[in-house]
Structure formats: structure tokens, C-alpha cells
Amino acid sequence: MPATGPSTAFVNGIGEFAGTFTSPLALAIVLVLAFLLRRRPAHLRLAGLACGAALALPAAWQAGHLLAAACILAGAMLGVLLQVEFVLGVVLPILALCRRLYDAVLGLLRTPNLPPRP
């Protein structure tokens, strides 16, 4: 007989957190959302929480207990939220720096606008 109870529900929640955090689908969704909502970090966080809930909904639906379903949903939502925070804190600033460097190099390579010769 499988073990059931609060400790099993919390372990399922931790497992769902790890599964969602390492999911390539969740990462792709977070990156797309980051490019769409890059000026609004609060909206990106809310969209990440909704994405985590949507990704965990099938597993939570099959959970036998309400506490297990809540732990699965919370674990998945926190896993996606951690990805969102990583994208906001690391990936987007690195991409902004790369764009500035690219623009600076292009500015150096452009020929200056000189007045025409007499």
C-alpha cells in the first residue's frame, strides 16, 4: 500500500518544483514571455505563476488528495517563478549588455558623415 499523507504531498510538491524548474518547455515559455513583457516585471511574474499553474494542472488533477494537489501546484508555480527571476536578473541584463556592445561596435565601424569636398 503506498504511503499517503502530508509528508508524501510535500515530497510530491518538491518533485514538481524540480520537474518544472528543469523543464525546457517552461523555460521556452518564460523566455517568450520575457521578450513580450520585458518592461513590466510584475506582469512577467504573474504570467510565470499562471504558466506554472497551467503546467501542473494535469498532475494536480490526478492527485488523490487536496493537500497533494495544492503542493503540486505550489511547487510548479515556484519553479517557474524561479526561472522568471533568473531571466529578469541575469539573462535580460546580459542581452542588454550584448546589444549595447553590438551598437558600440557598429558605431565605430560606420563612416562618419563628412562634408563634401569643394
Q: pLDDT tens-digit profile of 3-44?
A: 556 678 788 888 888 888 888 999 999 999 999 988 899 999
Say if residues 52 and 78 touch (Cβ distance below 8 Å). Answer: yes
Residues in contact with 83: Cβ distance below 8 Å, sequence separation at least 6, in sequence order? 21, 26, 27, 30, 48
- CA 63/CA 60 separation, integer angstroms: 5
**Per-residue pLDDT, 66:** 87
Question: Where exactly are the structural domains of the chain?
Answer: 6-109
Say if residues 53 and 74 touch (Cβ distance below 8 Å). Answer: no
Question: What pTM does this model have?
Answer: 0.79
Each residue's pLDDT tens digit, 56-104: 988 888 887 888 889 999 999 999 999 999 999 999 999 999 999 999 8
Say if residues 20 and 80 touch (Cβ distance below 8 Å). Answer: yes
